[in-house]
Structure 1
Amino acid sequence: MQTLWYLSEADTRWACGRIDSVEIVRATLTSRSPRPPAGGRAGGLIVLVDPGCVMAATPVAEVRSAAVTVASAQALLCQPVITVGVVGAGEAAVANVELLASTLTGVAGIAVYDPDAELAERMRDRTADLLWRHGVRLSLTESAREAVLGADLVVAALGGAVGAIEHSWLSPGAVVVDLSTDGVLPCVVHEADLLLVDDWSLVTGVLGRMRAAGELDAEGAGLGDVLAGAHPGRRDPEAVILVCPYGPAVLDVALATEACRAALLDRRGIALPT
């Protein structure tokens, strides 16, 4: 009988840091995985079939959001040296800052805003050593506008914030990744030169309301189409591109599967009675 393992949130977070999350996301979105891993999400947990494992979903979701951001930047930005604006300083934002700094070459600086100034300061302190090692400067701003102005890559990661980012703040050629589902105003959606959504069945937030009002058609390309070469992605160096990843479960399961294997190789986890 197959052993069923349990990974705590700490072990899950450790394991997520030992996998190539960007490559896993890229392979999953482009369907290059020979066989999709079996499993699903339920009640804050991810349950896997092979290997049999129950693990915390939150760390996996955080690393998935960061991996999608990096994959978006690699596929859609056209300049070698970039600045990043991050709205939000929670765990997902921290994961994004760390993965961007350690994976994406050419990051010159990251500007961060969160209405909770103490949370933003904790992010700065937590990421200071990693950013220093990679030569990336992080600055805290006093407004979302200040963080976004001049940024080549914009990450909306402020949970619960409705319409934090305006189109007039965006630079020509900017790539915006809305991880919060409600991080941008409708004007950003309307005026974006390209909107990428991989799974319209999962759409909520600003896109969901605009779709319900008949302002959007559930058609078009997703990031996976760009990564697979089925869509050209950027056509104009000054085009503003909006990426709305709504966390398809297949990404979380693929990442969790590799994270679980990494944890078990390190003899982490608890064998559950069956």
Structure 2
Amino acid sequence: MKKAVVLLMLTTLVTGCQLTGPRNDQEDHWASIRCWAFRDQSPLTKEHLEYIRDRSENGDALCKTILGDMHERGIGMPKDVAKAKAIYQAAADVDKKAYFHLGRMAEEGIGEPVDYVKARQLYERASAKTALAKLMEEGKGGPQDLDGALALYLNSIELYGDDAWVGVRRLRATGLTLNAEQEKQYSEMWAKGLRNTLNSKIGFTRRDLLKEIKPGSLVKPIKPAKLQLEFPIDSDVPEVSLLESSGDPAIDQAVLKVMSTYRFLDAPIQPGDQKSWKVVFNYSLRDT
């Protein structure tokens, strides 16, 4: 849903600029989003490029970074790594987050020899915790520090399955343990990720079922159903149980079948000798 809203917003903004042309006023609060959207337009028009350059020159750090990316990759202009680097530096003078791109160039050896020490320093200046943690995990540009990398990964998780989450999972797989505070933090992120992925799965299931139901074919009222997913600690395959029926056996069976295909990549950290974990949630075919 969030992705759809963002796409809708970007479409609206892009359409508005195509109709009115680039804005030159200083109070263009949507400049960053417009620059991002314009960069990915195909074809990239002269007006879009001029807008990005204009906003970059007027101090928008993200537009400036996007312009640097376009020079680096040759989007709408000849590829020029040296120019890109200079623009990234100018953007970093406005917003330190742009140091990430300079760190990436140093790490990957883009326009300069590979320099992991420099990359670490630049990632630190950018507060790019995930990128810095990866170098610390691998012992590049300085001593290997798995505990430090784990802490950085944990503190930079934004979404379930993102690079920081994968980093935590990778380090835990090596046998690295979390302290009590980190376990709590991990469990909270796990629960949030579970809710998000279950809601997404349920949303797609509900949409597909509504497509199959013919108007007027439902005689009985459809009630919210209650499901339980139980996962053994050593398995990602759930046992799905129907705790409360929706009132329609066909719908119940369809939901059970779909949810039996649900997989969660990570298990929570269970206390003691607990052998499985369970989640109970309501499912409704109707908006509630």
| TM-score calculated relative to the size of structure 1 | 0.28
Q: Work out which structure has the larger RCO, using CA pairs closer than 8 Å and 6 or more positions apart in sequence.
A: 1
Higher strand residue share: 1
| TM-score calculated relative to the size of structure 2 | 0.27
Highest Rg: 1 or 2? 2
